[in-house]
Amino acid sequence: MKIYYEDSIPYAAEFFSELGDCEVFSHKTINADMLADADVLLVRSTTKVNQQLLAKNKQVQFVATATAGTDHVDKNYLASQNIAFFSAGGCNAVAVAEYVLSAMLVMGKRLNWQLANKTVGIVGAGHVGSALSRILTVLGIEHKLCDPSLADAGDERDFVTMNDIMQCDVITLHVPWVKDGPYPTQNLFNKTRLAALKDDQLLINTCRGEVINNQDAIEHVEQGKSLNLVLDVWDNEPSINLDLIPHVALATAHIAGHSIEGKARGTEMLYLALCKHLGIQADKKLSDYLPKAEPSSVQISEKQDFWQVLHQLVLNVYNIEADDQYFRANMQGADQFRYIRKHYPIRREFSAIAVNTGNFADSKAIYALGFLPAK
């Protein structure tokens, strides 16, 4: 069996080398001729999988992407050819939720907020929205969920309307890019919704750039109106509109889900799915390959305030301001956007760090966020 995997899939060799004859490829050079003998094709979002890419292939049986998003895959074509498809939905949900928490803590300090007293509106209650909801529940932060498609599908959680969301102090977007149908998300935040935001509201987008009309955002601030905007995703990536960057409070290059755990979890999910497809027993797991975090443990003082401790712990693991500063210093065009994503440094999730809480009163909340208890 011939397995082709993209060079940006972490630990692919470790997971797949025993399942077949493996070939690694770059999204920059892959073509139909190279894939003519592929039985299995494993990609990330940088490779577009369609009829053109598979035109010379008559035998591929399994295609998978190690990402939650699937915009780069022509799923209808694969189905028409009876080619099995799998996506690693949810692989990066924890990473994105932790990114949003870091953004809220940083922006809360800038805006002189008491985050505990704010209300968060989560638009999209899938993998990421649900992961964020769990974090906010642990922290006792009031939040609301809006997801009409899930509500219609029978999800029994309490959902609110977008009108309710627009009253929240923080609005964070976690929806797929949907152009039409009953619940389109393209330009969900257009000039009308942007104009309806209050000066002290915070809008965070980590899902798809097209959910916020970037040109409308530029015109909004150029008219002298306030906009507290955190953007990890942009319209027309990687050729984004550079004019928007100076108007964004925190700007990053579509890396919210790029923790090493999130990316490697996607690889593990592909491995498990391929083993199931082949009818063989899976015998490898993610923990076999993840490196030890540095530092791997943190000591906190029992005398500290909970929110002071939270700010310290979260930003020690992931400080969004560092990514923002690097992005602004280096972002000049599409090539730089691609480079920042491809060469993103190792970032860990809370679960990689052991915390010694001693007699700290809120230690249960710290561990409920995912931090490990020190041994």
Catalytic residues: 208, 237, 254
Residue carrying structure tokens 């899902």: 207
Task: Pinpoint the alpha helices (H) of 250-362.
Answer: 260-278, 306-317, 320-330, 334-342
21-25 β-sheet, strand order: 21-25, 2-6, 40-43, 62-65, 84-87
| Torsion angle defined by CA atoms of residues 233, 238, 240 and 245, in that order, rounded to the nearest 10 degrees | 60
Contact, 85 vs 75, CB < 8 A? Answer: yes
Q: How buried is residue 266: exposed, middle or buried, by Cβ count under 10 Å (0-12/13-18/19+)?
A: buried
Contacts of 327 (CB under 8 A, 6+ apart): 245, 251, 252, 253, 340
Bond before 238 cis per omega within 30 degrees: yes
The residues near 351 (Cβ < 8 Å, ≥ 6 apart) are 94, 261, 370, 371, 372
